[in-house]
Amino acid sequence: MGYKFTEEQKDIQAMVRDFTKKEVEPRGREMDQNGWCHELYQKYIETGLQSTPIPEEYGGAGLGDVECAIITHELAKGDAGFAMAMEISWVCTDMILKHGSEAQKQKYLSGVVDGGLFAFCLTEPGAGSDAAGLRTRAKKQADGSYVINGSKAWITNSGIADYYVIMAVTDPEKGANGISAFIVDKGTPGLIVDAEEDKMGMRSSDTHGLTFDDLKVPAQALLDKEGMGFKMAMEGLDGGRVSCTAISTGIAEHALDIAKNYALERVAFGKPIAKHQAVAFKIADMAMYIEAMKLMLYDVAEMKASGIRCSVQAAEAKLFAASHTTTICLDAIQILGGNGYSKEYNVERLMRDNKLMEIGEGTNEVQRIVISGAILKK
């Protein structure tokens, strides 16, 4: 691989790889059936990994985007839904680091170090990839507080979160520039968690809709200033797309590992099926695309860590990794034959999990809009 990890990054990679093998991967099938595993999250907190991007002055490790990408990548090899739950919380802490007041940083960043989880509340029933089409309203009151009404859909961590970053319209006349962000604690009156979604994949992650019924929040809940929400959301999507690349790459490596081991053991027509060119070539293609994914992943993570705007590169990496991982999972199923169609061998779960990576944080089609728009810009 072209990207060279530092010794510290190699140590983090080895630590997370060991944790994933011992704690995450053995629970994968169970979580696919039963959903979020609180016991696993408690074990994760004990490692201190949740504090990776939090500055040292707030109790964290003070590390950056490359280290977060390593952690997400390695966790996703064991269970993609768990990896996604962790990275979503980091999307919110990144917003607070860049835009929060000192009081907000003291409370919420320290809260994440202590094991608190965030939910990022952007998507609505009528506003998915069209993030500027939000209908949730936050009306400012005479005392400076805000009352929020509306709903959100497909919100990761929403049933287990300690804190919520909610995007809402404060000035409908300004379009995208009229969207603001608010930090809300769990249990605030008017914050209603709807029924859990029965999803195709990523079933280990906790996903609900949310309803805001006269949700009153103080002026101090506003993140940065009015009208900054859409900018923060777009910054968050850049980071989210890097994380999606890491998740797809982890899924792809898991699928390749299953397919390779099976092909070396399964005998057909007098020899292991790995010796048949049709199978060997599929495995060669899997390995080739995975190497390219890793190069793109750590290149864009380093760009983000260096403060370089990486919207196009993040879109390219996410699109490449998500689409090729779906193909890799389907090829792995094909190599396993009938066993690939069985839940026992896990590759069907990997395919179901990865499908979200072609939809969430902007669909494949939206990534192509971002990429083509940059190329064709005059």
Nearest CA to 348 among 227, 200, 222? 200
Cα–Cα distances in Å, from 132 out to 128, 162, 167, 176? Answer: 9, 26, 10, 5
User: Helix, strand, or coil here: 223?
Assistant: strand
Amino acid at 222: L
Distance, CA of 67 to CA of 117 (rounded, Å): 19
8 Å CB contact between 170 and 227:
yes
Beta bridge partners of 196: 208
Helices (H), the chain: 7-19, 28-34, 38-47, 65-78, 80-99, 102-104, 110-113, 229-265, 277-305, 311-336, 347-355, 364-376
- For the question of residue 361 being annotated catalytic, the response is yes
8 Å CB contact between 156 and 120:
yes
Transcribe 107-158 into DSSP letters: IIIHHHHTT--EEEE--BTTBSS-GGG---EEEEPTTS-EEEEEEEEEEETT
Q: What is the sign of the dihedral through the CA atoms of 45, 49, 52 and 58? A: positive
State both tokens at 144.
Answer: 């400076």
Cα–Cα distances in Å, from 298 out to 49, 151, 250? Answer: 19, 36, 13
| Strand pairing category for 118-121 and 163-169 | parallel
- Which of 87, 197, 348, 361 does the annotation list as catalytic? 361
Which positions are catalytic?
361
